[in-house]
């Protein structure tokens, strides 16, 4: 049985390598993907909608790859081919040697320019 962190890492490497065949082997037939822009889309829709973004990805620097049961909590700083950087967190659910679910939480561009004054309380 493969290490779930290795399975997660391999999926990100497939995006960087533009290796759709490797990604298809890593993404289970019953896969679902959820993000702020997608509500539990299926495998086919994931590859149609998300895979083309691999053309703009040049790398991932992992901040956290934390296994917990059948899930891997991943925070990364991504690099685009245009030189932009961004930070996201994802929760991948792994079964055997495949990803069966992905939840994506968009972060921010890097460097992150927070508003002056930080947190503001509301009345």
pLDDT of amino acid 50: 95
3-state SS of the chain? CCCHHHHHHHHHHHHHHCCHHHHHHHEEEEEEEEECCEEEEEHHHHHHHCHHHHHHEEEEEEEEEEEECCEEEEEEEEEECCCCEEEEEEEEEEECCEEEEEEEEEEEEECCCCCCCCCCCCC
pLDDT tens profile 66-100: 999 999 999 999 999 999 999 999 999 999 999 99
Query: Percentage of the chain surpassing pLDDT 90?
Result: 85
Domains of the chain, by residue range, sit at 4-110
pLDDT of amino acid 70: 97
> Considering the entire predicted model, what is its pTM?
0.89
- Domain boundaries 4-110, corresponding CATH code: 3.10.450.50
Residue 113 banded pLDDT, cuts 50, 70, 90: confident
């Amino acid at each position: 049985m493969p290490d779930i962190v290795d399975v997660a890492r391999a999926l990100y490497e497939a995006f960087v390598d533009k290796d759709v065949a490797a990604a298809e082997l890593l993404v289970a037939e019953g896969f679902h993907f959820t993000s702020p822009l997608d509500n539990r889309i299926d495998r086919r829709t994931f590859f149609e909608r998300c895979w083309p973004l691999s053309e703009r990805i040049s790398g991932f620097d992992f901040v956290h790859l934390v296994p917990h049961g059948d899930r891997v909590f991943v925070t990364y700083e991504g690099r685009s081919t245009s030189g932009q950087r961004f930070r996201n967190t994802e929760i991948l659910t792994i079964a055997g040697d495949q990803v069966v679910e992905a939840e994506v939480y968009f972060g921010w561009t890097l460097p992150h320019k927070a508003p002056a004054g930080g947190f503001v309380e509301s009345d």
